[in-house]
Amino acid sequence: MRKKRFLLGAVALTAALAATGCSSTPNGSQAADSAKNQADTGKDSGSADSGSRDSGSEDTSKAAGADRNISCTLTLATWDVAAAKTFEELDMEGRFQELYPNVEIDIEEFNAEPEYFNSMKIRSSASELPDLMFHKSDSMNQYSEYLADLTDTEANKNNQIASEYAVDGKVLGIPDRKASDYVYYWTDMFDEAGVEVPETWDEFVEASEKLQEHFGPQDPDFGAICMGAKDAWPTYPLMEYGPAAQSGNGYYWDAMTTEDAPFAEGTDIHTVYGKIYDLFQKGVLGKDPLGITYDQSRALFAKKKGAMTLNSPMFLTAYKADGYDTAGMSTFYLPFRDSSQDEFNLVTQGDCFLTVTNNSENPEVAKAFLEFYFSEAWYPDYIASISSDSTMTPYAKELDPVLQTASELQPEVKFVTYGAGGSDFINMVSETKFDCKQLGVEMLTDGFDYAKRCEELNQTWAEARTKLGLK
């Protein structure tokens, strides 16, 4: 398996790369189609050291009746550096070659999500997308014309949530993980500062202030909450998920497209963004959150330059990959609710959607790889190696002990499945340039006027709805 790593600033280079084509014998399509039936739905997941690789590969190969003469190189693009490392460690290519021995897998690895999608945008215009690529829940809508329909695949049929992210009635991507976000925290720092795990938003703010007041005077670089806001996207647990958590509506973005003034006082998004803005004004993110990247914030948290950080299970995977110790680390769910008597809305969503592009010269082989990826031959060992939860019904898993603590502290939650927004919302974002995560960055800048900004957003929103003819 070959890996190509594209670093920041390499957009021009990646735009010039064309996807490697495939060739096959006349029976290749039939073999690839039959490979769709490979998933064994009656067996439990195994650990990375289990025997599932051998038995799964034999069952898959037999069920597929694969033409051993198929020869090609499939390209697979991802922004998840930790996952790319796992692909190599668990010998993904070798396992797939037990089904298709003459198929090689080239991994195109990007070290940042924004750079990844900038490159893919350019390549889509040139019809040079890779054979397979990972997507976020909100990017499949934007790339829908370039993606193959996966509705009839076994991977979709066995996936718990893929159908919830269909675009115009078609399943275009299969999420390989699902997760809710967590507040990671150091138990000893909470104990020293006399802080309890919060159950409401006000308690969360109070805990943040108390931690800052206790540790800040001793360390001018301390921030109760470590957040690498220089990258903008780390604000998402607040700015992107906040409206869904506040309202209990996972499709809040779609609901906004029916309103001329969605940011008006009294709306859920105005309320929750007001909460977040007030939190930011209390100085609990350290002295320079806009000067710190995500990677730097993770390192600061490891050094206990902060007591908390907000992120998904991918944070824990990356944290461990960095070699940091998790002793003393625990988690709780971020409470957006105002009262402990209110329902605890917990936003959850699928992530890392594997897709097959229409640029692939042999989409049948690419689909066969997708079926393999979510079959017993690969998926159980892979999902066991990362911190996120399984999306495949046949292959359940136990979460990392660090993450299990959150559900023990808050066992009664209302899961809110997050939808990143349909075509109307995508068009509104394009017209208004609304970016929830970037708005979080704006809130951290000097002189930001929340009330004025909401008025501006309402005005541009209403104008865009009129221009687009939305009702």
- Long-range contacts of the stretch 113-120 (C-beta < 8 A, 24+): 113/79, 113/233, 114/231, 114/233, 115/6, 115/8, 115/9, 115/10, 115/11, 115/79, 116/77, 116/78, 116/79, 117/79, 118/11, 119/6, 119/10, 119/11, 119/14, 119/15, 120/77
In the chain, which residues fall in CATH 3.40.190.10?
Answer: 72-176+350-399, 182-311+422-468
Of residues 58, 24, 447, 419, the one with CA closest to residue 244: 419
Predicted pLDDT of residue 192: 98
Predicted pLDDT of residue 471: 84
The continuous run of DSSP H or E covering 69 comes out as none
List, in sequence order, every beta strand (DSSP E) within 342-445.
345-356, 414-417
182-311+422-468: CATH architecture: 3-Layer(aba) Sandwich (3.40)
Quick check: 298 and 161 in contact, CB under 8 A? no
351 SS3 class: strand
Residues in the chain with pLDDT < 70? 3-68
> For residue range 264-288, what is the model confidence (pLDDT) as tens digits?
999 999 999 999 999 999 999 999 9
Predicted pLDDT of residue 67: 65
Task: Tell whether domain 72-176+350-399 is in CATH 3.40.190.10.
Answer: yes
User: How far apart, in whole angstroms, are the C-alpha atoms of residue 152 and residue 157?
Assistant: 7
Alpha helices in 286-347 (DSSP H): 294-302, 313-321
The continuous run of DSSP H or E covering 71 comes out as strand 71-78
Q: How many CB atoms lie within 10 A of CB 237?
A: 21
> For residue range 188-227, what is the model confidence (pLDDT) as tens digits?
999 999 999 999 999 999 999 999 999 999 999 999 999 9
Predicted pLDDT of residue 138: 83
Predicted pLDDT of residue 438: 97
